[in-house]
Amino acid sequence: MTLKNDLLLRAARGEKTERTPVWLMRQAGRILAEYRAVREKAGSFISLATTPELAAEVTIQPVDILGVDAAIIFSDILVIPEAMGLPYEMIEKRGPWFPNPVQTQADVDRLKVSDAETDLGYVLEAIRITKRDLNNRVPLIGFAGAPWTIFAYMIEGSGSKTFSKAKRMLYTDPQLSHTLLQKITDSTIAYLKGQITAGADLIQIFDSWAGILSPEQYRTFSLPYLKQICAAIQEVPKTVFAKDAWFARAEIAQLECDTIGLDWTMNPAESRQLVGLNKTLQGNLDPCVLYADYQTIEKEVKNMLKAFGPQRHIANLGHGVYPDTDPDKVRCFIETVKAYSH
């Protein structure tokens, strides 16, 4: 079946588009009252993410309510450690927490390479339901966390400003680190392939904690594993978003990916120069712009669109939309992209 709106896929492949496609990271979330209602019905974040019908419902909400050009499956990057045998909890206002973080080689040995269909079937089912209910209106994005980012949580046991426990492991036991990173990578490749089989039209890899590594450590403990994933996934376009890794843009450009996500610290013109002409760039409005008045939002969005140019750009924020953002301001962002980029 042909998609009614395939702007995102065409932009990712470098084909000509009538206007710039637009979507937002964390678009299905607390900014929408409709999401909060479904979340309440589910009882918790994790039960919402693991109930396919409800996950599909909140995935589609931003398409209906905000008019974005793509849906992104409602899930969490930390489903992978759970599927490997390391369960987590989501603590309200604090974020993810692993009761038994990885500390020793024996802990790594106990973990398995997860099977997409048996261990993560609920995500694949949510993708199948979403595809059916979207009825080819817009593409559906699947995603996973980058191995380094997943590793960081599995060792640290929770979010952190420094991830010093995770980084300490890279220095003190590189062999354990590489063994665990490889297990995460193998699980992630199988998971993304499962998502594509279930109907994902494009996949994004989130390296949320890329920027806390030195360039040398990023080269050793992140890029080789991103390279494996990008090489293994050939069926759909791929986006790599490495937050704060401004130092690695030229190297990320060497990966077999189609789109590179930029945060708001990365200048579009400089990024284009580093990346070259054969990749699409995604981003990169500062999410805090959406706290401003409508006039300021319009001005900032237009400046962003001018900086990227009309082709090979997917408009997005430089990180996820903040939960206390007014949905009307988000709508202003989306509508400005649509109107201005014609």
Beta strands in 41-98 (DSSP E): 71-72, 89-91, 95-97
**Residue 109 designated active-site:** no
**Residue 153 designated active-site:** yes
Q: Is 137 annotated as a binding residue?
A: no
Q: Which one of 13, 19, 30, 219 is the catalytic residue?
A: 30
Task: State how far the Cα of 46 lies from the Cα of 42, in Å rounded to an integer.
Answer: 9
Q: 109: Cβ–Cβ under 8 A, 6 or more apart, which residues?
A: none
Contact call for residues 53 and 9 (beta carbons, < 8 A): no
- Amino acid letter at 294? Y
Q: Is 133 annotated as a binding residue?
A: no
Q: Are strands 259-261 and 238-242 parallel, antiparallel or unpaired?
A: parallel
Q: Is 339 annotated as a binding residue?
A: no
Q: Which one of 10, 35, 39, 244 is the catalytic residue?
A: 39
**Residue 122 designated active-site:** no
**Residue 218 designated active-site:** no
Q: Is 160 annotated as a binding residue?
A: no
At 25 the three-state DSSP class reads coil
Q: Counting beta carbons within 10 angstroms of the beta carbon of residue 164, is it exposed (0 to 12), middle (13 to 18) or buried (19 or more)?
A: exposed
- Here the tokens at position 308 are 């990227």
Q: What is the dihedral of CA 254, 124, 25, 61, to 10 degrees?
A: 150
Q: Which one of 6, 35, 69, 76 is the catalytic residue?
A: 76
Q: Is 28 annotated as a binding residue?
A: yes
- Alpha-carbon distances of 284 from 11, 305, 318, 335, rounded to whole Å: 16, 10, 4, 16
**Residue 76 designated active-site:** yes
Contact call for residues 242 and 252 (beta carbons, < 8 A): yes
Q: Which one of 6, 35, 119, 153 is the catalytic residue?
A: 153
Q: Is 30 annotated as a binding residue?
A: yes
Q: Is 282 annotated as a binding residue?
A: no
Please list the active-site residues.
26, 30, 39, 76, 153
Binding-site residue positions: 26-30, 76, 153, 208, 319
Residues flagged as binding site for substrate? 26-30, 76, 153, 208, 319
